[in-house]
Structure 1
Amino acid sequence: DGVLTVGDYDGVLLQLHLASGHQIADVDAHEGRKIWSVAHSTHTPHLTASAADDRCARLWAGRGLTQRVAVLRPNPGASVCCVDLSPSHAHLLAAACSDGAAYVYDMRQLAGGPMMELRGHTRPASYCRFLGGGQLVTAATDATVALWELGGAAAGNGALGAIGDGGAAAAGGAPQRVFRGHSNEKNFVGLSVRAADGLVACGSECGSAFAYHTSWAAPLAAIDLSGAPAACGARGGDASDAARTARPWAAAGAAAAAGGAAPVRSGGGGGFVSAVCWQPAEAGAVLGLPPLLAAGTSLGGVSLCALAAR
């Protein structure tokens, strides 16, 4: 669509045209409550979803957010912390809520409520991201990230199991894998996926960014962006995971050839890591680099890191 949509703490959705910088829309979308998340559809032009502290996720259509087409209340007692629209299936929407659950909707049948409920995090679920066509990744303030298989789950409103200790999925719909190693008890620390490579990234309250691979539960790599010694450690996973894990990414200024992850560009460090985003594969190809991760901190620092094998 060539637009950027931003939600603010006053419940307003602002939409800008990227090429011209002109404002397209300024909508009081969530009755003055904080907007936590915005997502665009890659299949349906001008379809946008927003999630907020008013315990609702809302769907918008039309250029300039002119039509509010649906209001979703996964749990009337819980805030909706994040919403995501599937890049693989035009009809799938996921919402992560403060009750610790993630809810998956078929947008063709919204009247029936969510078709799946992924429950098991012990604290609020802060993020959800679709990983390819049949998987969903969720993050929560219980310091876990979970990978869920959606394709084999029966549609319906029943709970799909609880989080275990990592490893292969248990019968009854538990996550395929649970990732541990970062620190997250309070803040939004970001979540990003790169489906083509099976990569998952999140921030941490110890000031480091963490990369995981869907093949094992412990961290693939971590990089300290705080300028202070990291206080994170892997929690959970088995011995074989531990043998592969926590290869620290190179510190600022180290050569990328050393392996791990080296910051390519930094805008300063400190605080906790509040946002992460895997860059498109094209970005690495142009620069001749492996997978790139942008990470921002709560103090305004931004770093671009390259993930490389040692």
Structure 2
Amino acid sequence: MQCMCVILNKTRSYMACCGNSDRIRGEDVTKLRKDIKGQPIYPWRCEWDFSLTTIVSSGGDNNISTPAISDALGVIEFDQTNSIIATGGIARKIRIYKLQSLLPHENTGQDQVRGTICLDHARACDYYICTPAKLSSIRWKPGSYGGVLGSGDYDGVVMEYDLERRIPIFERDEHGGRRVWSVDYSHWDPVLGASGSDDGTMQMWDTRCESGECVATVQPSVGGSAVCCVEFNPFGGPIVAVGCADRNVYGYDIRMTIAPVFALDGHRKTVTYIKFLDNVTLVSASIDGCLKLWNSDNSNVIRSYRGHVNNRNFVGLSVWRKGGLLGCGSENNKVFVYDKRWGEPIWIHESNPTGRDGCGGGLVSSVCWRQVEEDQCTLVTGGSDGGLQVFQGKRKASIAS
């Protein structure tokens, strides 16, 4: 699908796919002069050129129009080298892809070939590992050099897999069979892992012990609301952030977990994702249809981001730290990219035509940025149809200079 830039304002940016334009919300936007189609006219250009590079479909015939609910993707993760991609979902498979297989032009030394590469999982996937349950979370283990991958599943079990031998090497079931929504590993104390569950707890455990000895158990919400996301500070600090169904985000010092060191209150519904943008700045997502940027030092909201549709499902959240971009999915089968400086999306891509109500045709359920470069980026997304899409972005030369 070809896209057209219709953008930018110093404080408001927008990219719309041809024939599928979305209106930007916000009072200041409605006051802007509009073109003959009724769309806002912006005096500034978009800073980025994005293109759909590769589609990996669930069917062998590359038919991406028929949703395969049994293969819906819930999570995508790049390894520490940013060259390997792991995916998981309700198909009970961890699939491993080499990025060079999805972006063959990167190895040719030539400019990107025009058009989109279409593959199926059988051809694109390097290998896969079958899992005993549907997966809600996966995370590469720091210090394992891409050799160990942790997972959390619908049966409340945390597991680790040795990817070289393609076998499970660790298992813990301490959440009483309640779904594990999120797992992560500490970068400050590399022997620590954590999991958040429907049982209302975040548990930290010692990865050196075969049984996964519990180091600490935290119940952030007084009412025992589900813990939907857990993320350790990836810059090496001792803080772990926890997002809950009680609409709040809590931060704990892993050395003393009796009480949170900060609480972020501002969402109107369940917090589904939390990501560190830097040591003190975090981004959260909620099924209230809003992303929020927070300063954890004073617990204040810096900015809110609206445009995507999210009132029921987990649709993914990823931050590209070097470029200051946020990516998320949507329940109208679109991918949204926000610049951290502005509250409206700078780019939107519709994966497949939706129904007239804008809610048909599936959803984009997972997203992940590649953490490299400053003027070029790669965003990988997964959907309820089980398909992967790879997008590449390049900062426009006149802007970069």
Measured against the shorter chain, the TM-score band is: 0.7 to 0.9
Contact kept, 8 Å, 2:380 with 2:389, in 1: the verdict is: yes
CA offsets per residue over residues 202-235 of structure 1, 9 Å max, x none?
1100101111111111001111123437977xxx
Contact kept, 8 Å, 2:187 with 2:236, in 1: the verdict is: no
How far the C-alpha of 1:65 sits from its partner, in A, is 5.8
Question: When the two structures are superposed, what TM-score results if normalisation uses the length of structure 2?
Answer: 0.59
- Secondary structure in 2 aligned to 1:133? coil
Q: Does 1:303 align with 2:394?
A: no
Equivalent-residue separation in structure 1 for 2:262 and 2:275 (angstroms): 15
Query: Who is 1:131 aligned against?
Result: 277
Q: Does 1:91 align with 2:238?
A: yes
Equivalent-residue separation in structure 1 for 2:207 and 2:178 (angstroms): 23
Equivalent-residue separation in structure 2 for 1:280 and 1:186 (angstroms): 28
- Secondary structure in 1 aligned to 2:337? strand
Q: Does 1:105 align with 2:252?
A: yes
CA RMSD in angstroms, aligned pairs only: 2.2
CA offsets per residue over residues 23-56 of structure 1, 9 Å max, x none?
1112213110011111122232232111110000
CA offsets per residue over residues 91-141 of structure 1, 9 Å max, x none?
101001001110011112212x11111011111111111111110111101
Equivalent-residue separation in structure 2 for 1:200 and 1:29 (angstroms): 33
Going from structure 1 to structure 2, the CA distance change for 1:230 and 1:68 (only over 3 Å counts) comes to farther
**Any stretches of 5+ residues in structure 1 without a counterpart?**
154-159, 161-172, 233-269
Q: Does 1:68 align with 2:214?
A: yes
- Secondary structure in 1 aligned to 2:322? helix
Give the alignment partner of residue 42 of structure 1, picking from 187, 207, 210.
Answer: 187
Give the alignment partner of residue 348 of structure 2, picking from 211, 222, 232.
Answer: 222
Contact kept, 8 Å, 1:79 with 1:97, in 2: the verdict is: yes
Which ranges of 4 or more aligned residues in structure 1 deviate by more than 3 Å? Answer: 227-232
Query: Who is 2:324 aligned against?
Result: 198
> Within 5 A, what are the aligned runs for 1:1-310?
1-2=143-144, 3-63=148-208, 64=210, 66-77=212-223, 78-111=225-258, 113-151=259-297, 153=298, 160=299, 173=300, 175-228=301-354, 270-281=361-372, 290-309=376-395
Bigger relative CO (Cα 8 Å, ≥ 6 apart) = 2
- Secondary structure in 2 aligned to 1:30? coil
Contact kept, 8 Å, 1:86 with 1:93, in 2: the verdict is: yes
Percent of residue pairs bearing the same amino acid type? 36
How far the C-alpha of 1:18 sits from its partner, in A, is 2.6
Contact kept, 8 Å, 2:153 with 2:180, in 1: the verdict is: yes
- Secondary structure in 2 aligned to 1:291? strand
One-letter code aligned to 1:16? Y
Equivalent-residue separation in structure 1 for 2:211 and 2:307 (angstroms): 39
Find the structure with the greater CA-based Rg: 2
- Secondary structure in 2 aligned to 1:223? strand
